[in-house]
Structure 1
Amino acid sequence: MSVLTARNLRRVYDVGKHQVRALDGVSLDVEEGEFIAVMGPSGSGKSTLLHLLGGLDQPSGGEIELAGEMVSLLSDHDATLLRRRNIGFVFQFYNLLPTLSAQENILLPLIIDGKKTKAYEEKLEDLLVRVGLTNRRNHRPSELSGGEQQRVSLARALITEPKLLLADEPTGNLDSKTGKQVMELLAECAKDLHQTIVMVTHDPKAAAHADRLIFLQDGKIQKEVSFLEGQSISSKARIILDSLESGE
């Protein structure tokens, strides 16, 4: 079942007297539990695509259907609620509130949505165990490593049980070992929790954890690669590197 459908997405920016086509007719379907990585050179439209899918920007044309709702047909209020309750975000820079503990940062989306956090105690405990932060729950961001902060960010994105998780360069601010751990967590979420994920990355090793890879070039999908179930990370990374080096 498709959680997300995008049809002919376009985004045009006016730059002085010129127009820049950041996205030029992108269409894709994302199935429940699928983990998709999006790659491409700088200016290819990766971040623009993620921002449109997450409702952080509005398309110049095209349609987005999320969780069975056509976003363009919703009022601003209903579209905001749809995004808040169906999309989780993980960014390169963790965007944690410095005065809150790890646990409080994780619960923040529930509080913003006016939900009772007690109803999510079991979910919170499960996520703290999953991201390995049970003993760090009361620490503030300044007391946590970069990898720990990113794991808090991931748990925060998952606490509302979103239909879709969007990740923008989630390992971009981490060393290779910590980045690998975060990617393994994301892959586990897709497999164990059936979490649907769309991730933008420049790192072939990060992209190798995905089920499907989309290459963008000049605002268009240049190529798609679907990996075999059970295919090793090293094998997928080689395919990605070969594709990048050949330009195909």
Structure 2
Amino acid sequence: MLLSSHDQLQQCVFLTDDKQHVAKYKELCLTSVYQPIFDRYSQAIGLEALVRISTDDNQIIRPDLFFGSDLVSLSDKINVERLSRVIHIRNFSRSPYRDLHLFLNVLPSSGEFYAFEDMRINLLSKRLNQLNLSATQLVMEVVELDARNEQCLQKAMHRLSTRGFQIAIDDYGMQASNSKRVELLKPNVIKIDRSLLLEYMEGRCKALLNGIVLARKIGAKVVVEGIETEQQYQAMLALDVDLFQGYYLAIPKPLEMVEITTLHNSKRSIN
């Protein structure tokens, strides 16, 4: 059964003693961590929310393995994704960084439901208003997994876009995050996968440079993910790249532990 109503989702969400929202789903516990994304001037323009999944006996489950597993039902994947989004947004709304952009991962199979569920978009928009957040702050990152129907995914992302949400292609260069999906969805942001960064650093530059050219063709901003060294950072600064993310700049942490020393009080924008 898919969790769809506010009441169904609310029954799974709890506030901890340190005022962070967490979710319980079956034997799983879901918590939020956030990784800053920086512009060329070392200013944070947003945070990517990432879910951490653990079991009742404190076993850690990697999110990529959970969402990519054939052993996990589609309904469980969608429910975990929806609950993750709920806690990510609530925690973000209570943070000092609430005026920045919030990047949220979207499973293609889950995102497709937005093509048929105007009510779900309405509920999300209403909840954002209640939290004094704007739809334009949310960047919905379509992850690299296959969609059941790419045209349906296109329709869904278009509906989100017309309501003010920004769309991103996550992990460009991996699996279904390719030029075909970019041309189909026309995202606001293309996030270049770390594998293309590593190829570039080894002298195989074509794939990363083609990704930048494609982004410029459709008017999208470029984020390079997975920057882990000064050398990589300087190499990307030398290119026509807009935004930067990776352990060299900041590691994912719970919001109360996130420190963005270059953050100014003025609101930043990816536009």
The answer to whether the superposition gives a TM-score over 0.5 is no
Which structure's residues are more often strand, by fraction?
1
